[in-house]
Structure 1
Amino acid sequence: MKLLSKPNLAILGGNKVIGINQGAHFNWPKITDEIEELVIDQLHASISIYDRSSIFEAFECEFARLHNRKYALLTNSGTSAIHSMFDALNISPGDEVVCPVYTFHATISPLISLGGVPIFADVDPYGSMSLEDLVKKVGPRTRAVIVTHMWGYPCRDIEKIALFCKERDLYLLEDCSHAHGARTNTGRIVGSFGDAAAWSLQGQKTITGGEGGIVLSDRRSIYNQALLLGHYNKRPKQEIDVSDPLYKFYLTGKGQKLRAHPLAIKIAYHQLGILPTILQGRDSNAQRFRQLISEIEFLSDIMQDGSSPSWYAFGMLFDESKSNGVTRFEFCEMLHHEGLSEVDIPGSTGLLNELPLFTEPNELFPTLFGGKLPRQRDFKNALSFKDRFIKMPVWAFTDEAEIVEKYLIGFEKVCRAILEDRNFGQNLRNWRKET
């Protein structure tokens, strides 16, 4: 078969959309002069806060107000915040928690250190926990359910899941680490559905201090338990009522310290203050990419109509049956050659059911687990989602308009080349051999 003329793609020697001198494509958070001044101010004010005062009090109050929750507690990481939620439920060895099989491991890994057993539920075609499979996985030892608002997209069935948990007298926890400020298609903010919810304030997160986390709840009992897990002395003494049976532990807490760092929270507080601007800017750019891929038959959107993601990442699903012979990996490679280096197939996020921590926890925690846990299988939707998913960051600010335009141009250039040749995949491989 005679090959068609080579398209002007960088993977075939053509000109790149983005040259090597463009610099970093996505910097988050933006370290501005204002942030530098705020950090210096905090350095002179305090670099260690023992109670609920100063920047800790300001951040917790504002974050709780945003989500209409009563209690907020900062931690040193999102993982610690999730650990605090599990610990506050008094999870005992053998207690089960149903969780999505597709998520980052920290959604459920802290449970293992308490002897709890994760029961994995499949996801829907868009990567959110499947209500249908959740119902099947609840058993007599189920204590709680935890959902993830993955990649900043609200869990599609969160309202139905919340109702189900209430009817079955199960605790509901939310991992909102990716989803600061995201709202469902009914307008309700994520983190306001469960008995407790946790966020990460780490590195690339929308509200970030570099490291940190926060847990919210309306239950005083959960708050007090979380407080004693991560604090001792001044703060528990300040906040736990003297009539509470737990008050006598104020000096020691539970023997751990999970306090956040004031410098990190000072940065995060600034991010919280500009959250509406961040979300508005991201949404504007995300809608442009949504419009573009709506015209590309081998790419599909995962956003639920009417919802408002935080756009921690822009996610799309790749359909190899419609891509004229191009694989998902080849598609990403083509984009990378054009200089679109932020396009990514996730490596550390996937299905959890085969990870050693969840199948052989007895090797790390022999006093909690008498042996291996049964392997859990048959997660067809999650496997399909993982094998099709592609993501990239979403830019928020007006001074990033140039890089956004180039990513749009690069996507359209590659996609149009693929769609114009029904044998493109094989031709691409032949052209590359010739080159």
Structure 2
Amino acid sequence: MAQQGGSPEAGDGKMIPYGRHIIDDEDIAEVVRVLRSDWLTTGPAVQEFEKRISEYTGAAHAVAVSSGTAALHAAMHALEIGPGDEVIVPPITFAASANCVVYMGGTPVFADVDPNTLLIDPAEVEKKITPATKAVVAVDYAGQTCDYDKLKDICEKHGATLVGDCCHALGARDEHGRMAGTMADISILSFHPVKHITTGEGGMTLTENPVLAERMRIFRNHGINLDASARSKKCTWVYEMQDLGYNYRITDIQCALGTSQLRKLDGFLKKRRELAALYDNIFAGEQEIEPLRVRDGVEHAYHLYVVRVPARKREKVFEKMRADGVGVNVHYIPVHYHPYYRKTFNTGEELCPAAESAYEKLLTLPLHPAMKPEDIDYICDRLKQSLKDS
């Protein structure tokens, strides 16, 4: 079975990337099957992928779209976010978690994170809630679930809707055994190549609410109530544009890959957890390397393996490890630091002290299922040496 995206041998002069996909012959065969079929987009492979993700997560409704960002945008549309509405988001996340609010004319409000996990802090959410707060976006940073029980209580008390950005956490479970993607009013998945499974680019929304699901289905198709597949089944050319939507459709080609990848997800997760445990064991007792804390009882999905190193050494360590072929990264620059947010929403330093302090120390180490234990040994050796030399 041919594999693509495998890790290089430790220390052989090639770069070990922080994340990477694995594509095998089964995946390729599924894509070829669709290429030879009558449907390349908005066809049965899309519906099959949605069904399989629903079954895997336990979510009642799944709506596949062209990216995780499109899924976030669809969620904000379904919730009718608009001018004058505030949506609370954490600063340690990819910019799309906040951008989706801006797309709708709303205002993102940044609530600080727990300094140990970098997950949004429910106490900080409560501080930032106002009568204008319409929703809260919780990000399952690095692959562990947020405290959805506390967040849900806060949202219900203030009449806000809870959105779970679970793009890092497919396959994770919380302390009660609940699957990521089922604990918020709307949850978001991403299938970018560095995520747990990939469709190339792609995303999905999950919800228990059929009304929200239908709004998102229409939104992904220009605001039109019937897509080509549905019109074919009804033997009609008639459709109605009921709202202003976007072309956020995903193809059958991509969804065939996604369904094939999903069959391997549990194996990918097992490998990620094994590799993370190797990191944990090596770093136990290290004074200058501090992994993020995992919440008690959580079954982590380990999209990312993030450590904190001394802020004064981080830049040099980053450069030295890259020079040694280790593709370290930093996740993330706080969203409120970006020039657009500074200019548009007057954000900046001292807005979220815990996130800002953590950012100065963050370092993401490579973690993906094609890696081997010897890769972990090499990465850890290089990190320790880089700290010593910095």
Normalized against structure 2, the TM-score is what?
0.87
The answer for the alignment partner of 2:290 in structure 1 is: 300
Aligned equivalent of 1:405, options 360, 374, 379: 374
Q: Give the counterpart letter for 2:365 in structure 1.
A: M
Q: How far 1:406 moved relative to its partner?
A: 3.5
Amino acid at match of 2:313: T
**Equivalent residue letter for 2:12:** G
How far is 1:47 from its partner?
A: 4.6
* Structure 2, unaligned runs of 5 or more: 1-8, 232-237
| Residue in structure 1 matching 2:23, options 31, 39, 54 | 31
Amino acid at match of 1:32: D
Partner of 1:344: 329
1:18 correspondence with 2:8: no
Q: Residues 111 and 251 (structure 1 numbering): CA distance in 2 closer, same or farther, change over 3 Å?
A: same
Structure 1 gaps, min length 5: 1-15, 240-247, 321-325, 362-372, 419-423, 430-435
Structure 2 residue aligned with 1:375: 347
Equivalent residue number for residue 132 of structure 1: 123
Cα deviation, 1:153-205, whole Å, max 9, x if unaligned, reads 222x2221122212322100011112111122332222211110111112211
Which is bigger in relative contact order (C-alpha 8 A, separation at least 6)? 2
Q: In 2 relative to 1, CA 32–222 (structure 1 residues): closer, same or farther, beyond 3 Å?
A: same
C-alpha separation in 2, matches of 1:417 and 1:113: 42
> Helix, strand or coil: the match of 1:350?
coil
Task: Note the 1:9-158 alignment, pairs <5 A.
Answer: 18-20=11-13, 22=14, 28-50=20-42, 53-125=43-115, 126-155=117-146, 157-158=147-148
Partner Cα distance (2:86, 2:148) in 1: 20
Q: Secondary structure of 1:391's match?
A: strand
SS in 2 for 1:123: coil
Please give the alpha-carbon distance, in whole angstroms, between the structure 1 residues aligned to 2:322 and 2:119.
28
In 1, the alpha carbon distance for the partners of 2:141 and 2:249 equals: 26
Scaled by the length of structure 1, the TM-score of the pair is 0.78
Equivalenced residue count is 371
Pair 92,37 (structure 1): closer, same or farther in 2 beyond 3 Å: same
Give 1:5's aligned residue: none
The aligned counterpart of 1:278 is 268
SS in 1 for 2:360: helix
1:134, CA displacement in angstroms? Answer: 0.6
- Kept in 1, the 8 Å contact 2:321–2:386? The answer is no
1:190 counterpart SS class: coil
Q: Paired residue for 2:187?
A: 197
Structure 2 vs 1, CA of residues 194 and 250 (structure 1 numbering), >3 Å: closer, same or farther?
A: farther
The structural deviation recorded for 1:375 is: 3.2
For residues 393 and 374 of structure 1, the distance between their equivalents in structure 2, rounded to whole angstroms, comes to 35
d(CA) in 2 for partners of 1:233 and 1:139? 35
Alignment of 1:311-390 (within 5 A): 311-319=302-310, 327-339=313-325, 341-346=326-331, 349-361=332-344, 373-375=345-347, 377-390=350-363
Task: Let me know the Cα RMSD of the aligned residues.
Answer: 2.6
Change (3 A) 1:57 1:387: same
Deviation, 1:37, is: 1.3
Question: Aligned AA for 2:11?
Answer: I
Quote the Cα distance in structure 2 between the aligned partners of 1:318 and 1:298.
Answer: 6
Change (3 A) 1:99 1:115: same
Q: Is the 8 A contact 2:321 2:382 kept in 1?
A: no
Residue range with higher mean Cα deviation, 184-193 or 86-95 = 184-193
Q: Among the aligned pairs, what percent are the same residue?
A: 23
> What's 1:366 paired with?
none
Q: Following superposition, which runs of at least 4 residues in structure 1 exceed 6 angstroms of deviation?
A: none
For 1:84 and 1:255, locate their aligned partners in 2 and report how far apart those are by CA, in whole Å.
Answer: 9
Structure 1 counterpart SS, 2:187: strand
Q: How many angstroms apart in 2 are the aligned matches of 1:416 and 1:197?
A: 41
| Pairwise CA distance, 1:393 | 2.8
Task: Describe the shift of the 1:343–1:92 C-alpha distance in structure 2 as closer, same or farther (beyond 3 A).
Answer: closer
Please say which of residues 141-150 and 226-235 is displaced more in the overlay: 226-235
Q: What CA distance in whole angstroms lies between the structure 2 residues aligned with 1:378 and 1:252?
A: 40
For the 8 Å contact 1:318–1:389, the answer to whether it is kept is yes
Residues 280-338 of structure 1: CA distance to partner in whole angstroms, max 9, x if unpaired?
A: 11101110111111131111121334322221111111135xxxxx7122333343344
The answer on whether the counterparts of 1:38 and 1:267 sit within 8 Å (CA) in structure 2 is: yes
After TM superposition, the structure 1 stretch with the greater mean CA deviation from structure 2, 407-416 or 142-151, is 407-416
Aligned-partner Cα distance in 1 for 2:46–2:287 = 48
Q: 1:141 to 1:281 in 2, by over 3 A?
A: same
The answer to whether the 8 A contact 2:65-2:71 is kept is: yes
**1:251 Cα shift?**
4.5
**Whole-angstrom CA distance in 2 between matches of 1:177 and 1:289:** 23
Deviations 1:84-127 (A, max 9, x none): 00011111211000111221110110211211011110111121
- Kept in 2: contact 1:228–1:254 (CA 8 A): no
What SS does the aligned partner of 2:56 have? helix
Structure 2 distance, partners of 1:17, 1:75, is 37
Cα distance, 1:356–1:337 mapped onto 2, change above 3 Å: closer
